[in-house]
Amino acid sequence: MYFDLIESCKDQNSSRMIQKQFESSSIEQKNIIFQKIYQEALNLMKDQFGNYVIQKFFEKGQKKKKLQKQIYIQTGNTEHKIQLYQLLKGQVLDLSLHTYGCRVIQKALEELKDYPELQEGIIQEINDKIMVCIQDQHGNHVIQKCFETISSSKQINLHFIHTVVEQFREYQNCVLPMKQFFFLITLYIWKQKKTKEIYDKLMENIIDLCKCQYGNYIIQYIIEKGSNYYKQKMLKIIKENFVCLSLNKFASNVTEKSILFSDDSFKLGVLDVLLSQFNNQSQDTGIIKLTKNAYGNYVVQRFYEKSNFDIKQKLCAYLLQNELIYNDIVSNSYGKPFFKKNSQNKKIILGKHVLTHIEKNRVDNIRNNSQNFIQNNQFSNSKIKQKKKF
């Protein structure tokens, strides 16, 4: 009978039947089923269908809410979920990396929300292997569940974040888990009121995070919606490194975001950086470097769009009134050819993109000013005619 019950848990249809029966059973019946399966529970956690039975035990097992949590553990008169927790001890990492075991760990984290000390016990077993879990296709879901379920244990969450921010360079090729994890950090910043520790850790790594495929989204988020104090600190660093960041595929998204969510004083500071010599090894200024770059030219276009009239004038004067600079930009091409449908190699003229954009905006401004002038004159002329009639 015992053997049949264990084997039934491993069968798809029988497993569902046992789950339904357990859910609707009395406390006495639940205890009987639980005790028969308990000895093989660890093996069932790794079974394709057996893991669902164990999850159901966590979810619908016996509860004795009136007793204190510590009394449960000491007297042995424990809930089913706490007895299962005892089985998990020493097995958390192994189960977290397992196809089916990771589901049981996630369910345990959910159902032990009334027992934060037990939740922390689960977390402590994977603390030293946090990056292993983040990289693993199953373990990363356990880490996500940690963020979702453990809100009261801030120290654990901070440990996760600090570990990732410090070591993310080693794991940037691990695309999906890193994307998920940086998204979780962003959510955590949004949800928590006190995030000084996180901000400080991010500030230490801001340049590298800007250049990270997914880390740049965190910096963008802070620039748009984060604490104003840290936003200003980040903008200062971004301004000082504006050209280098704008030349990078991912960091250029951050510099564009900084343009969108900053005031005129920031943009004036950026203009000074753009019109200064890029470095000692190059005669080019920052603006020339960017207009000839695959990513930087878009940053310049956005900078021009969002700047005030005085900044636009200075930028136009520099780019259009100096013939050498103008010819240098126009003659530049992005060296990597690409194939179109007609299989002909063509080159992208990046510098021309910027100049065309600026000239178009300048023409539009002139046209708008002319239209306003004409409309004003027409209005004043009509007033004069009306006066003459009277």
pLDDT in tens, 169-186: 555 444 444 555 665 666
Q: How many Å from the N-terminal Cα to the C-terminal Cα in the chain?
A: 112
Q: Which residue has the higher pLDDT, 263 or 325?
A: 263
Tens of pLDDT along 97-112? 999 999 999 999 998 8
pLDDT at 361: 62
Tens of pLDDT along 11-70? 999 999 999 988 888 888 888 888 889 989 999 999 999 999 999 999 887 655 444 444
pLDDT at 362: 59
Task: Say which residues have a Cβ less than 8 Å from residue 245's Cβ, sequence separation at least 6.
Answer: 207, 210, 211, 238, 251, 252, 254, 255
The C-alpha atoms of residue 41 and residue 85 are separated, in whole angstroms, by: 11
The C-alpha atoms of residue 369 and residue 363 are separated, in whole angstroms, by: 10
Tens of pLDDT along 302-325? 998 899 989 988 887 787 777 777
The C-alpha atoms of residue 104 and residue 87 are separated, in whole angstroms, by: 12
Q: Which residue has the higher pLDDT, 385 or 246?
A: 246
C-alpha atoms less than 13 angstroms from C-alpha of 293 in its C-beta half-sphere: 22
Other CB atoms within 10 A of residue 113 CB? 13
Q: Which residues pair with 334 in a beta bridge?
A: 348
Task: Say which residues have a Cβ less than 8 Å from residue 154's Cβ, sequence separation at least 6.
Answer: 192, 194
133 has pLDDT over 80: yes
266 has pLDDT over 90: yes
Whether 181 contacts 225, CB under 8 Å: no
Whether 80 contacts 60, CB under 8 Å: no
Q: What percent of the chain has pLDDT over 90?
A: 29
DSSP state of 38: H
The C-alpha atoms of residue 256 and residue 324 are separated, in whole angstroms, by: 27
Structure tokens belonging to residue 364: 């539009």
